[in-house]
Structure 1
Amino acid sequence: MKSFCRVMFAVTLIFASAALPALDRQPNADYHARRVALANKLNGGVAILFAAEEPLLDFMPYRQDADFYYLTGWNEPGAALLIEAPQAAQGTHPARPYREIMFLPTRNLRMELYTGRKLDAASPDATQLTGVDEVKMMSDLAVTLNQMAAENRAAAYRIWSEPDTEQAKALVQWTATTLGMESAPPFSDVRTPVQLLRATKDAGELALLHKASDASVQAQFAMMKSVHPGQKERTTTGIIYEKLLENGCERPSYAPIVGSGEKSTELHYSDNSQTMRDGDVVVVDAAGEYSMYASDITRTMPVNGHFTARQREVYGIVLGAQKAAIEGLVAGKSHINDPQHKYPDSLDTIAFNYMNAHGKDLHGEPLGKYFIHGIGHSVGIDVHDPYDYSQPIQKGMVFTIEPGIYIPEEKIGVRIEDVFYVDQDGKLVDLTEALPKDAEAVEKAMRK
């Protein structure tokens, strides 16, 4: 218990003192290419995105808005990004080149005593550090947009921004008012085209996803070696936190789940408040975020280091279902996150059918009904990265395959989850393959 308290105290100090953790950032050219790709999806319009604001509470770590980070690699609060799509000459309006501007807030020197030095538009290295063609003061954003709309009124009707933010609403309203418009024009949701771009990962993103998975594998290894009867679930959680930070992660990519006994059958149990008991299984769903990129791993193990015959049977069926889904994947055809089995070729359907064919509950019913969630989800800057699941899996995607069976009556919950990448040949690459998952290999890892 004392060791766990020391771990969590260290975690608190690290999170509280590192308002802006250093991240492995991709080259400026990568972010510029993404901004140009977004401009090509704007139908001649203007996109405005806003960075996340500074947290109000000292103990809340800062995390940049995912879309903003994807386009800029910028990890300071309060900024805005404007992208103006190129357009050919139209009537009296001359041709318009591509344009990108980063707007930075005015420095608050007193606040920087607490949060550290920030960059603003007056900094001589602002353009070089941001990697954006132009850098202006945040106070220039409204004026700049107004000038664009004044030169061509069509620009006021081709704004792309974030409908759920007050900054976007206020900016569009101000622009409409200064142009003498009766009402603010509707604007399009910029997250839609950005999320289309985020669906497939480039080489730099893959490198970061590998690092996130490698660090998460090390945390899971340490967890496996520690589990034993009488150990608190929270102690296991603390070991995971310690190893994630030790291996370069800035934070866990989601609240760790350590559920033993009956709690192993609760999908999002996160209290982690029980004492693990001899004869139970424990489901540990925990991974880290490395330089804003997430991993997502789940392993199930026997608390005492040895599966019972029934636990081993159910575990083997879940592992078999995962292997069947892996073997059944066809890039450009297979779907994921299909718990209602709308697609006969989905990985969900393959796993469901496998479970039904290979095992029954205590009442003789097929086990497929205990698989109660989608088999996977896209992974990237967010652990649940945005994706249109009506579309099949594409080359370049990173996603999880995570079948599970949860039988409350037997206090047996089993989930096995790994992160995969579809390479350009349509083959799956397992980013978390270093972590054991065969029943015997799991037991062996617990004995080391």
Structure 2
Amino acid sequence: MDNSEFLSRQTHLLHKMQPNSICLLPASGLVTRSRDTEFPFRQDSYFHYLCGFPEPDAWLVLSNHQEYSKGMSVLFCLDKDPTMEIWHGRRVGPKQAKQQYPVNMAFAEDELGERLLDLIDGHQNLYFAQGHNPNADELVFSLLQALRDAPKQSRQAPASLIDSRIILDEMRLFKSTTEIELMRKAAAIATQAHMRAMRFVAADKNEYHLEAEIHHEFAMQGAKYPAYGTIVGAGDNACILHYTENNQVLKDGDLVLIDAGCEWQGYAADITRTFPVSGQFSEQQKQLYELVLRAQLAAFEQIKPNNTIKQASDVAVAVITQGLLDLDILKGDLTDNIKQQNYREFYMHGLSHWLGLDVHDVGNYKIDGQDRPLKPGMVLTVEPGIYIAPDAKVDNKWRGIGIRIEDNLLITTSGYENLTLAAPKTINDIEALMLTKSG
């Protein structure tokens, strides 16, 4: 992503902040996995959004103080250290950071405390995401207290503390042209991974073999990491919504539900497909699968500017509830079943969530207590499902079947663009693709 994108975001944030304000944004730190090893580093999404700097333990400071006509940006980062770099990898360092990243100044991280006192001093408002990073909270509050305790040195702490996420979440909700292209790429890679899994699956392989195929496809196309814990649930494991053990043997006659998406330059894809281990759906599987697909396609018809997610969700609920009644899984009247939410025994999650730098991305779903209208530039998932537990009080032929179909939709001026359209999801398309199994 070009620095001009980051500079545009910084400028937008500075204009949205109240006059004479400063904003502090900490990067992520390393997270211990066990003893003296860490999980792979993933940058904080807010920090990445505003500057793209890829290292841990950094800080970004933005100010619209009147003495800075175009605003001011300062980066603090780990200093160059030949010994540490031999053990843990190269560092950018302040000098190169100033040249390479969209900031006016850059300093070593060990100067942070002293310089932040000077930078914060005299600003009327401090924008900071309290609670987002406990270690950062501790530092910021100690600095504020130091400023409050130093009136004789003519220092002044900000009078108000404002949550920076109020502005940033709304900014992140609407994707730029550059972001959309990155999300198209993430969706395309994830689509190929799901198709690879469909070709590879076979009885007596393990769920983790499918997970490995998916992750391999991600990496081979340049997406080193999944965007979230990959779900590969075969048989009744598909009825566990966030199943990630992925350690059971695949059996003929079972469906396998895969919820997997890669991360491309920070942006997530989030696709779910459900398909038969054998390559062919049984009659009962077909009936439930077609019901979920009908619900998704009906919801799609409601996905357009000025409609709401709730409108789409209500339509999906109505289709699923009527279908469950038709299959004699639910009993009674459609209106009563919807009113009493009886469908929630089999469809217990929401239809949609925002998608972006985080797989469950930021942004309010309501404005002033009302469901917010969809607008061009938003990206969201649409993911109805049906999950019939092994002990559900229904005919035995339905038990243990879990199905979810999930796509990623970009709201456009006229409707939507399905970023994951190429991932097969009709029964005919899935079965046709699976005839080309790789073994």
1:300 Cα deviation (Å)?
0.5
1:83 Cα deviation (Å)?
0.6
Q: Percent identity?
A: 29
CA distance in 1, matches of 2:42, 2:146: 33
Q: Does 1:220 align with 2:194?
A: yes
Aligned to 1:339: none
Counterpart pick for 2:79 among 91, 106, 110 = 106
Equivalent residue letter for 1:174: L
Equivalent residue letter for 2:72: R
Q: Retained in 2: the 8 A contact 1:86–1:97?
A: no
2:76 alignment partner, SS class: strand
2:90 alignment partner, SS class: coil
Equivalent residue letter for 2:127: W
Q: Does 1:41 align with 2:12?
A: no
Residues 315/82 of structure 1: CA separation in 2 closer, same or farther (3 Å cut): same
Aligned to 2:284: 310
Equivalent residue letter for 1:392: P
Counterpart pick for 1:405 among 343, 361, 386 = 386
**Residue by residue, what CA displacement relative to the aligned partner does 1:354-397 show, whole Å, maximum 9, x if unpaired?**
11223335544378332111111111111111121112322101
CA distance in 2, matches of 1:428, 1:179: 51
Aligned to 2:182: 208
- TM-score, normalisation: structure 2: 0.86
CA distance in 1, matches of 2:175, 2:303: 19
**Residue by residue, what CA displacement relative to the aligned partner does 1:310-355 show, whole Å, maximum 9, x if unpaired?**
11011001001110011112313312xxxxxxx4x2x111100111
Equivalent residue letter for 1:437: K
1:58 Cα deviation (Å)?
3.7
CA distance in 1, matches of 2:163, 2:417: 33
1:181 Cα deviation (Å)?
5.7
Question: Can you give the 5+ residue segments of structure 1 that lack an aligned partner in the other structure?
Answer: 1-25, 88-93, 336-342
Residues 148/281 of structure 1: CA separation in 2 closer, same or farther (3 Å cut): closer
CA distance in 1, matches of 2:63, 2:414: 35
Equivalent residue letter for 2:425: K
Aligned to 1:356: 321
**Residue by residue, what CA displacement relative to the aligned partner does 1:176-199 show, whole Å, maximum 9, x if unpaired?**
324526999662222231111100
Q: Retained in 2: the 8 A contact 1:299–1:437?
A: yes
Equivalent residue letter for 1:64: Q
Equivalent residue letter for 1:83: L
CA distance in 1, matches of 2:244, 2:90: 36
Which 10-residue stretch deviates more, 412-421 or 228-237?
228-237
Question: Can you give the 5+ residue segments of structure 2 that lack an aligned partner in the other structure?
Answer: 152-156, 335-341, 367-371, 393-398
2:301 alignment partner, SS class: helix
- TM-score, normalisation: structure 1: 0.84
Counterpart pick for 1:128 among 92, 95, 99 = 99
User: 1:369-448, aligned counterparts within 5 Å?
Assistant: 369=344, 370-390=346-366, 391-408=372-389, 409=392, 410-423=399-412, 425-448=413-436
Equivalent residue letter for 1:36: T
1:163 alignment partner, SS class: coil
Aligned to 1:171: 140
Residues 172/207 of structure 1: CA separation in 2 closer, same or farther (3 Å cut): same
CA distance in 1, matches of 2:238, 2:143: 53
2:374 alignment partner, SS class: coil
Q: Retained in 1: the 8 A contact 2:30–2:38?
A: no
1:252 alignment partner, SS class: coil
Aligned to 2:45: 66
1:144 Cα deviation (Å)?
3.9
Equivalent residue letter for 1:383: V
Residues 280/204 of structure 1: CA separation in 2 closer, same or farther (3 Å cut): same
Residues 260/362 of structure 1: CA separation in 2 closer, same or farther (3 Å cut): farther
Q: Retained in 2: the 8 A contact 1:163–1:169?
A: no
CA distance in 2, matches of 1:148, 1:220: 49
CA distance in 2, matches of 1:86, 1:420: 40
Q: Retained in 2: the 8 A contact 1:280–1:411?
A: no
**Residue by residue, what CA displacement relative to the aligned partner does 1:150-193 show, whole Å, maximum 9, x if unpaired?**
4x3xx2x5111131232243234224324526999662222231
1:54 Cα deviation (Å)?
3.1
1:251 alignment partner, SS class: coil
Q: Retained in 2: the 8 A contact 1:252–1:286?
A: yes
Which 10-residue stretch deviates more, 103-112 or 211-220?
103-112
CA distance in 2, matches of 1:61, 1:166: 19
Tell me how large the CA RMSD over aligned residues is. Answer: 2.2
Q: Does 1:138 align with 2:113?
A: no
Equivalent residue letter for 1:33: S
**Residue by residue, what CA displacement relative to the aligned partner does 1:285-316 show, whole Å, maximum 9, x if unpaired?**
11111111110011011111111111101100
CA distance in 2, matches of 1:400, 1:363: 27
Aligned to 1:159: 126
Q: Does 1:293 align with 2:264?
A: no
Aligned to 1:180: 149
